[in-house]
Structure 1
């Protein structure tokens, strides 16, 4: 849905999405690469911890924006928080997987190890490797999906667009940005006013 917005509102509406994606780039790309080079597997827990601090900022700052900002800007902060919850859920699933492995390994020590057939008689802990890989896969999928979605949201914010379903999270009132209609550059919803291509171009101008 296209909304009647000012240039300042479109600029401010992009901020939560920029923060979300910068957080992903720094924590899940750069910091994870550094940890894999010089740290241990356990040190990887630093990544979701640091990321969660940024996601918490998105939540609390979004609440402040709702008190003093326009509905359109507040809606984009709310949308960024919805994406943040997806990422936090992936962290939770990964943590549960690791804790289950630790519990099983404590009850049955060495049960997931394989002999390396080396002269030193060392063993590889297959349970730890499999658990870490699957936990990382869960987080990777969440990161990939939300990163792509957020990139689209940056474009939408610049065009004065947001999915009207966000009203389920942040209700509208008489002071909310006026609806213009749904253009060709977005998903259409039943019962919503539709814009033709010319009207869409005019609303983006």
Structure 2
């Protein structure tokens, strides 16, 4: 159930900031940055995605520390939205772990394909795509969640369960 907290226009605008950062991280960093690395710099897909994950990790760390600071310094609505944004990164982190686990399988899986068929290259491609698909869906889901949260923040709304989990 969604509850509305008393908040000024400035507080509601500040509460949108963590979701804007979250959306920038999911859209710009994961979609556009990795695509630009592949197309403009002719990087391999794994290297480009790894670079975008590394950049995203720095944004997640910033969000973690900003949430801790927000708990002490900001109004309750703003803090709750920083906390919500931080909680939403769990989905992406899970997708990162899955991506790295699947891609690391290429270190232990060997193929008996002749050199002319380049079996290891085929296996790397299959594992790469297998790791990217859940990551792509996690990014898409995150974009939808982030924009919905941005709308709620602009109206001064939070989920009642979130406010109970993180009391004032």
CA distance change for structure 1 residues 140 and 75 in 2, over 3 Å: closer, same or farther? same
* Bigger CA radius of gyration: 1
1:159 equivalent to 2:163? Answer no
**Structure 1 ranges of 4+ moved more than 2 A:** 121-126
Instruction: Please give the residue correspondences for 1:136-175 in structure 2 after superposition, counting only pairs within 5 Å.
Output: 136-172=132-168
Name the counterpart of 1:189: none
Normalized against structure 2, the TM-score is what?
Answer: 0.89
CA distance change for structure 1 residues 53 and 163 in 2, over 3 Å: closer, same or farther? same
1:54 equivalent to 2:80? Answer no
How far, CA to CA, are the matches of 1:77 and 1:114 in structure 2? 53
1:134 pairs, out of 130, 137, 159, with 130
Normalized against structure 1, the TM-score is what?
Answer: 0.74
Instruction: Please give the residue correspondences for 1:33-112 in structure 2 after superposition, counting only pairs within 5 Å.
Output: 33-37=35-39, 38-44=42-48, 45-104=50-109, 108=110, 110-111=111-112
Q: Is the 8 A contact 1:114 1:126 kept in 2?
A: no
The unaligned stretches of length 5 or more in structure 2 are none
Which structure features the higher share of helix residues?
2
The unaligned stretches of length 5 or more in structure 1 are 116-120, 173-205
1:123 equivalent to 2:118? Answer yes
CA distance change for structure 1 residues 62 and 135 in 2, over 3 Å: closer, same or farther? same
